Structure 1
């Protein structure tokens, strides 16, 4: 790529190095041609009317790719399931979700793309809840042209990664609630878990189809978890998650499922428990903070469950970075640092 001055009639196929302004006295002043525009035969007459007899242009080498074409190419590389790309504007291509769901970003592949010369790609944070039509990523190249081998390297990164940016739609899960606590079971205090959990489940397209209030009795809790799991896609067990003598919920969960992680590096949510039945039905143990704190670890983990992901021990451990809630008043979640590590 090199810059040179050419006659207007010889400029077809070259790229403008600068904006060209159109002035109509008393009416308007604005951009007639933008920097990076590829000159066509149809442009010649207008350029002459604008008083342009010569242009400063870029003469593309054989392996140069125009910024708009490069932007389109990068958009296709980034866009995975349920993602569509816009038309380029000054090489920038925006990506939008086509469904309500959970944004999934292959962070390693995203970083690899940005190590390539002249390539820019950015996204919303991984695991952001997004709506249909919401912008989730943007990509472009920085110069007016880019070498073709750079785009080949970008395509190699995509092929090795599989998908880089995708959106997992939320599944209409049937949820079962097993709410523990002798004081609630006997009616000594009013339950506060059910409305909170129901709202979080329904917000992501699920439905609460099973509710049982049980005392702090390991065998009773165990039987109700099994009953809920028989008819539901996910079971949430609330209360009794600490280490008091009456807190038997973790033992009951462990007796009917495989515990992936008990305890989390998220505050609030330290006594959280994630487990799976033999048929992979998730069983989630929710500590007391789940009924009074506006956001907890449940708000970070449950959307992934609702999107069909299986939670691993490593997934919970990685929440440590960004896992501290600032307890802002008023709460700004999800537009804050919580869960954004």
Structure 2
């Protein structure tokens, strides 16, 4: 790449796109990379502020921005992610199915820390829909050292930095507990909330039991649903620390591995997550899920539907951003909750 005066550049090959911006009207290239400059092009180049331009010179140690952008794309692009064509060193990535968007946060940091290139993504761990924009990449200079791009590959590691895990077709059961509901003293309004949230992901409730605060009966109900080959069991009621709250004990007695009883999220501190030995989740939902618009359940549900295991470390990391502000107009997930 060599810089030269525009008026002297007739016959030379452009090594980058030349963009024209007309406020409120358009933004786009007037000339593309590889264009051979003609005499009539000089006034156009001057009109977009190009007194000097870069023309192409071969250099075996350097890569053009678009060629380097393709390498950066390959570093990022995992399963179920589509990519656009490189333009001015930029490539945009989109989801090619509904699913859970995952990002290798540490790998992303290592690549961005190299400088001269950038990857900007939406927040991982949240649901995306087919066609959603996921990330944009850009090579900062017009040309970049091949060695720098090799360093980016090493920094990213052996696996792509991003992927979308498709949502599964889920059949689930709900175990509603509490003497007040069991004896008909109050109406069960919790289950409708669960059905509504699960329906957003195409999940279907295939079993529902309403039980007294009897841990043995609750355990039997959970195991019965699992024996029906349901993919997940959700338990409501009895998740606090009152003497009558027996649901955590009942879940433990199924033999499930308790990942966490409690989460650093408000609303949702009394959340319980466990997995059976075959990986199926058994979840205890705190009462706030029934009345608060967004809770811990909304943060973990995409992972549960996608079948991506949730670790104790993942739950612990939700503390920063885990405080819902209960805004008058809820814009979740386009807000800071869970981020």
TM beyond 0.5: yes
Contact kept, 8 Å, 2:19 with 2:27, in 1: the verdict is: no
Listed one character per residue, the Cα deviations across residues 37-82 of structure 1 (whole Å, up to 9, x for unaligned) are 43444x5365379699x97434443322222222232122211100
* TM-score, normalization by structure 1: 0.89
CA distance in 2, matches of 1:150, 1:213: 61
**Alignment partner of 1:216 out of 198, 204, 213:** 213
Contact kept, 8 Å, 2:174 with 2:235, in 1: the verdict is: yes
Gap runs ≥5 in structure 2: none
Shift of 1:301: 1.0
Shift of 1:156: 2.2
**Alignment partner of 2:176 out of 173, 176, 179:** 179
CA distance in 2, matches of 1:163, 1:113: 12
1:278 aligned residue: 277
Gap runs ≥5 in structure 1: 22-27
**Alignment partner of 2:38 out of 37, 44, 50:** 44
Listed one character per residue, the Cα deviations across residues 218-244 of structure 1 (whole Å, up to 9, x for unaligned) are 111111011111121000001100011
Listed one character per residue, the Cα deviations across residues 271-293 of structure 1 (whole Å, up to 9, x for unaligned) are 11011122222100001111111
Task: Classify the secondary structure of the residue corresponding to 2:118.
Answer: strand
Number of aligned residues = 328
**Change in 2 beyond 3 A, CA 1:250/1:16:** closer
1:25 aligned residue: none
Task: Classify the secondary structure of the residue corresponding to 1:283.
Answer: strand
1:296 aligned residue: 295
Matched, 1:198 2:195: yes
CA distance in 2, matches of 1:48, 1:269: 64
1:325 aligned residue: 324
After TM superposition, the structure 1 = structure 2 runs for residues 160-171 of structure 1, keeping only pairs within 5 Å, are 160-171=157-168
Shift of 1:150: 1.4
Contact kept, 8 Å, 1:260 with 1:275, in 2: the verdict is: yes
* TM-score, normalization by structure 2: 0.89
What do you get for the CA RMSD once the two structures are aligned?
2.5
1:24 aligned residue: none
Contact kept, 8 Å, 2:237 with 2:286, in 1: the verdict is: yes
CA distance in 2, matches of 1:31, 1:248: 63
CA distance in 2, matches of 1:222, 1:16: 66
Contact kept, 8 Å, 2:172 with 2:205, in 1: the verdict is: yes
Contact kept, 8 Å, 1:104 with 1:167, in 2: the verdict is: yes
Shift of 1:139: 0.2
Worse overlay, 66-75 or 97-106 = 66-75
1:102 aligned residue: 100
